[in-house]
A and B are shown apart, each in its own frame.
Chain A
Amino acid sequence: TQLLEQSPQFLSIQEGENLTVYCNSSSVFSSLQWYRQEPGEGPVLLVTVVTGGEVKKLKRLTFQFGDARKDSSLHITAAQTGDTGLYLCAGVSGANNLFFGTGTRLTVIP
């Protein structure tokens, strides 16, 4: 099993603060996806990073893929209440295998 550990597991911050979520593994992945899941719904893809060292920005969200393609981070600037949810990273290995991380539950307090 290729384990993806996310940290922190839970995070509660005030609106306007910055935060970083980490996704770490000892395995190498060909690409890595980040999803957000809201209560009662399935996860929704935010971004896919493919190249080691790649940085992608999605408005206030910045995603980085580690140089060795074993880890990734998600940084949110000036968090808003709408950012509240469960953030999941998922590593792709081979043609058919997608391994999900343990998840980070973010709560943004108004």
Chain B
Amino acid sequence: SQKIEQNSEALNIQEGKTATLTCNYTNYSPAYLQWYRQDPGRGPVFLLLIRENEKEKRKERLKVTFDTTLKQSLFHITASQPADSATYLCALDIASAGNMLTFGGGTRLMVKP
């Protein structure tokens, strides 16, 4: 089955720095990969989608890369702010019937002022 690994340890960074989160996967080649943000007590919120034939995607201060050879995606938040503190989830879609997403366990990001 698909295995998705995200660093379970919290990432602590200083405000203004760039946060980089990693998502590694095994076994399948997903059609595309998504990143979500989840705040405590809330449902995940969709941030970005990147397709298998795209190397990089940007949205405001967010940047996602997708390396299908390494089976890895990197999620960057530039000029990080305390408001960026949350858990970030990556999710893979293998384009199977039902368009189901498989989620990683998430990485908690703490941005300190």
Our verdict on whether A and B bind, yes or no, reads no
Binding site for B on A (CB under 8 A): none
Binding site for A on B (CB under 8 A): none
